[in-house]
Amino acid sequence: MTIQPLTEKHWPAGQAIYQAGMDTGNATFTTQAPEWADWDAGHLRHSRLVALHDDGQVLAWAALSPVSGRCVYGGVAEVSIYVADEARGQGVGRQLLSALIKESEQNGIWTLQAGIFPENTASIRLHELLGFRTVGYRERIGQLHGVWRNTVLMERRSAVVGAASAPQQ
């Protein structure tokens, strides 16, 4: 397996993985995987990664979205990570999220956050494994197919980005 930047050429397979995740009903409030132009516009230009099998098949993708347009939140981003059914349980997600964390820090991101449906225990465990902690539980935060859903809010603070300017306690 190799990890490389996600580009438009990877999107047809990435889009199918995204849609398969959506179809589980426990991945996102989004119900239709977007075309490349819309996906591209909604994600940061950096920290877009794809995991490829040795034969070139897309196994997973991960990317960051801005959480706000306000400059004070410029170092905070939301994680998206989607792993193909056939690649789950093989360490692909762990390797990909680890690479995404490293790349995010190289691009000045000091906080990563993820909103995860509580039923998606595999995703919660993956994030915990890589240093995310639960910071909240958002009750009835949105509806999916007319049903109110909750999310677990997780975050990971960088130990390297912004550490020198952190306030003394």
Residue with token string 């306030």: 167
Domains of the chain, each with CATH number or no CATH:
2-162 (3.40.630.30)
Nearest Cα to Cα of residue 125 among 75, 83, 74? 83
Rounded to an integer, the average pLDDT of 114-140 is 97
In this predicted model, what pLDDT tens digit does every residue of 28-78 receive, in sequence order?
999 999 999 999 999 999 999 999 999 999 999 999 999 988 888 889 999
Per-residue pLDDT, 77: 97
How would you label 101-110 residue by residue, b for 16+ Cβ within 10 Å and e otherwise?
A: bebbbeeebb
pTM for the predicted model, two decimal places: 0.92
How would you label 1-10 residue by residue, b for 16+ Cβ within 10 Å and e otherwise?
A: eebeebeeeb
In this predicted model, what pLDDT tens digit does every residue of 90-125 receive, in sequence order?
999 999 999 999 999 999 999 999 999 999 999 999
- In this structure, the chain runs to a length of 169
Helix (H) or strand (E) holding 116: strand 111-116
Q: What whole-number distance in Å separates Cα of residue 77 and Cα of residue 158?
A: 12
